[in-house]
Structure formats: structure tokens, C-alpha cells
Amino acid sequence: MKLKLIRATFSDCPDIYRLQIRSFGELLEKYQDYETNPGAEKIERIYERFQQSETDYWMIKLNEEIIGAVRVCDFGTLCKLKQIFILPEFQNKGYAQDTINAVEALYPKAIRWELDTILQEKKLCHLYEKMNYTRTGKIENIKKGMDLVFYAKSLSN
């Protein structure tokens, strides 16, 4: 099984949207965070982000099948991993780790990476910690029972 990232084009926006809705659906149902969850966004947000100069979308391709996408904000020496979304049937198989490694390699100027995730989702926190991201100490309350925890990773080039 070969995983690779392919830079998305503007015409991929509807596919990115469908992948995002399916991938974040379970978390949306669990937390009902309609203001912050990518699974509740309108397709217009994908088009808006796609046109931001710092935003790159990458399609995650396994063999010949698109299984997800990732959004990166590139600020030169700082990159932010904004969203990784992998279809539910492909989750918990190591593809997120492979995606993180692959996406970090695409931005050789980046010496710092940042991301945030749901504090209460232990599997997500474990994934990022396993990938050498460390908590910054910042935690943002979204709603009762749901907080965002912020992570960073420094790379030496």
C-alpha cells in the first residue's frame, strides 16, 4: 500500500468538502460543535480557504483511491497543520502518521509546525504526541466538555 500526497486544485474543492464532511461527522455528532467543527462547514469555506495565499490542500491518495485530505498554512519557517481528514473506514491504520511525515517533508523551510486538536480525544492527542508534537500549554474552551489543546514541533534543518 503506497500513500502519497497530491496537491489539490480548485476543481477538487467539492471532493475536499465531501471528504471533510464524512471524516469529521463522528466528532460533530459527539460534540455538537457546529460553530467550530469542519464537518459543519459550508462548501464556500473550502473555496475561500483555497484562495488564501498561505493555504495548501493536499489530497491523500492510497494506491489509486483518495482517502482524505490535509490543509496546511505555510508562513515560511512556520507551518500550521490545520486539518487532516481521513475517511472513517481508513482511520486508525497509521495513515495519519504517514500523512504528517509526508506533509512535513513538503515544506523544507519550516522549522516550526503548529496544530490544535480536541483535548478530550485521547487518540488524537496520542497521535500528535507520538509524532513529536508537544503541548504549548495553551488550552481553549470551546464548550462544556470540549477544549482545544495546542501543539508545536520544532525541526532543525
Confidence of residue 66 (pLDDT cuts 50, 70, 90): very high
Determine, yes or no, domain membership for 129: no
Predicted TM-score (pTM) of this structure: 0.94
Determine, yes or no, domain membership for 153: no
Determine, yes or no, domain membership for 87: yes
Confidence of residue 155 (pLDDT cuts 50, 70, 90): confident
**CA distance linking residue 10 with residue 12, whole number of Å:** 5
CB 73 within 8 A of CB 79: yes
Q: What is the pLDDT of residue 38?
A: 93
Query: How many domains would you assign to the chain?
Result: 1
Write out pLDDT tens, residues 95-133: 999 999 999 999 999 999 999 999 999 999 999 999 999
Q: Residue 141 has which C-alpha cell?
A: 474552551
Determine, yes or no, domain membership for 38: yes
Helix (H, G, I), strand (E, B) or coil at 121: coil
Determine, yes or no, domain membership for 151: no
**CA distance linking residue 41 with residue 76, whole number of Å:** 27
Write out pLDDT tens, residues 12-30: 999 999 999 999 999 999 9
Residue 11 lies in domain: 3-113
Determine, yes or no, domain membership for 157: no
Residue written as grid cell 507520538: 130
CATH code, domain with 81: 3.40.630.30
Determine, yes or no, domain membership for 135: no
**CA distance linking residue 89 with residue 34, whole number of Å:** 23
Q: What is the pLDDT of residue 117?
A: 97
**CA distance linking residue 119 with residue 114, whole number of Å:** 15
Q: What is the pLDDT of residue 18?
A: 97
Q: What is the pLDDT of residue 157?
A: 52
Determine, yes or no, domain membership for 155: no
